[in-house]
Amino acid sequence: MAKVTDFIVIGSGVAGLRASVALAESGADVTVLTKDKASESNTEYAQGGVAVVLSDDDNAELHEGDTLVAGAGLCDEAAVEVLVTEGTRYIKQLIDWGTEFDREAGKLIFTQEAAHSRRRILHAHGDSTGKEIVRSLIARAGAEPTINLLPFSATESLIINDGRCVGVRYLDPILRAPREVFAKAVILCTGGAGQLYQHTTNPSVATGDGMAMAYRVGADMADMEFIQFHPTALSVEGAPRFLLSEAMRGEGGILRNVSGERFMERYDERLELAPRDIVSRSIVAEMRRTGSRFVYLDMMALDGDFLRERFPKIDETCRYFGLDISKQMLPVSPASHYCMGGVRTDLWGRTTVPGLYAAGEVACTGVHGANRLASNSLLEGLVFGARAGEAALENESIHMPISEMDPSAGSSGTASEQGIATAVRKRVKRLMWERVGILRERVSLKRAISELEQIASSGLSTSSANFVMLALLVSRAALWREESRGGHFRSDFPESDPSWRVHSVQRIGEDISGADTVDF
């Protein structure tokens, strides 16, 4: 028999956990579905820290200004204002809940990252900020008796009844069989889609399922062309693309080419602290100029003890691969890292589908514009996760007996194979990296779309179809935007064009359109 709960939250990163707590504090029953262990999410892998206005020389106006500049003219100012003004309260709340940010003599330590005008980045255990935030949020969620965490329960589709999202289908972790759970509202907190690309800093769970599921039931998607490529992922043969935090450059790290020459002065006056999209393209240009597959991140001017204390996880990982960050230059190259676009929401996480909410990287609130400011993502998940939870409570009075519902209406399919077919996944990832990556142009994008459409027509399982559909959403938006802005660079349209200062919006069965704001 189908399970019934008050609210469903899909995902257990910072947004999902914070939304769950907001719901449970009202006494509601909350079922949290996650396709891996509860702590496995992009949040856990966030090293650099969380940006917040807490230091004496900082204020919300400065943080807002930095965010708007990084967003390359496409941030929605109302969303940014919510982020920077409410963020301080939510971070203080996290501290009250036991989150242990790094301190010196009892005072919080703030560090610098690219495109920030102040040292406003809090970190935990040096370079394990996301892991610490997840730890404290899981502990806080565990204190709420009405939160039921279901790990290893992969959501396959959303269930729509009479135009409203009323539940989900998921794969039972024990029986490996499809199950249904119904609720008054569903909150998507499924994270991003870095796994669309051959090279990524994201964990294996970041396949964008939530975005594809929302699109299939009629939700608007916004700004899908804007993918952020992190400039410095460890580039060692046989090693995963391990993220070398932005904070390493913030602490004084220098980028050098394979000849040992510092090269960023050729590309931007801000050098290593230019916005991520500029640094990534500069590295690609330098690799092409020198015929190399990587550049170097040089930390050797900094004290070894400081580096080991400040970046313990990075130090440990590099040592595992035979590198000493205090004595050797580290080979790095860009990798996909973050989706600025996603399911279009208002400032309270509402999507265009009644009963369906979204928060965190799966959503597009307009906070990040065309290029996310470093360390704003954890703050966004916290602030908008809480707001989505509060907004979903408006559905408290809705009563939807199971007998009145058609479980198949508007769903994205029935039970699928376990995970994405390996061959399809590899083909799509390589195609996206080569044709819809850091540098894009019309002919290559059209070829990508043609090949993806061919793959999509080959009778795929639900999970594989979702993966291909998401790749098509990114590719079509990238072809549509005939300019370069933020994380989207077209070599055939290399300049930003004021007439393109609009958000891309995609809705199933319709052509791409432009909108002045993400909010609706």
Distance CA 255, CA 307 (A): 17
Nearest to 161 by CA among 469, 381, 401: 401
135 is catalytic: no
Cα 361 to Cα 130: distance, rounded to the nearest angstrom: 14
Question: Which of 508, 501, 505, 426 is CA-nearest to residue 467?
Answer: 426
Q: Are 203 and 34 spatial neighbours (Cβ–Cβ below 8 Å)?
A: no
C-alpha to C-alpha distance for 373 and 67, rounded to whole angstroms: 6
37 sits in the region (left: phi over 0; alpha: psi -120 to 50; else beta) called beta
- Whether the CB-CB separation of 442 and 479 falls below 8 Å is answered with yes
Of 276, 310, 344, 485, the active-site residue reads 276
Using CB atoms within 10 Å of the CB of residue 105, give its burial: 0 to 12 exposed, 13 to 18 middle, 19+ buried. exposed
- Residue 64 contacts residue 356 (beta carbons within 8 Å): no
Name residue 150's beta-bridge partners: 33
Q: Which tokens go with 128?
A: 């394990």
- Measured CA to CA, the distance from residue 252 to residue 267 in angstroms comes to 18
- Angle at the Cα of 136 from the Cα atoms of 133 and 137, rounded to 5 degrees: 85
Cβ 364 vs Cβ 214: under 8 Å: no
The amino acid present at 245, given as its one-letter code, is: S
- Three-state secondary structure readout of 184-231: CEEEECCCCCHHHCCCECCCCCCCCHHHHHHHHCCCCEECCCCEEEEE
Q: What residue type is assigned to position 372 of the chain?
A: R
Distances (CA, A) of 359 to 60, 345, 375, 509: 22, 8, 16, 24
CB atoms near residue 114 (< 10 Å): 23
What whole-number distance in Å separates Cα of residue 350 and Cα of residue 520? 9
Strands 50-51 and 121-122: antiparallel
Residues labelled catalytic: 276
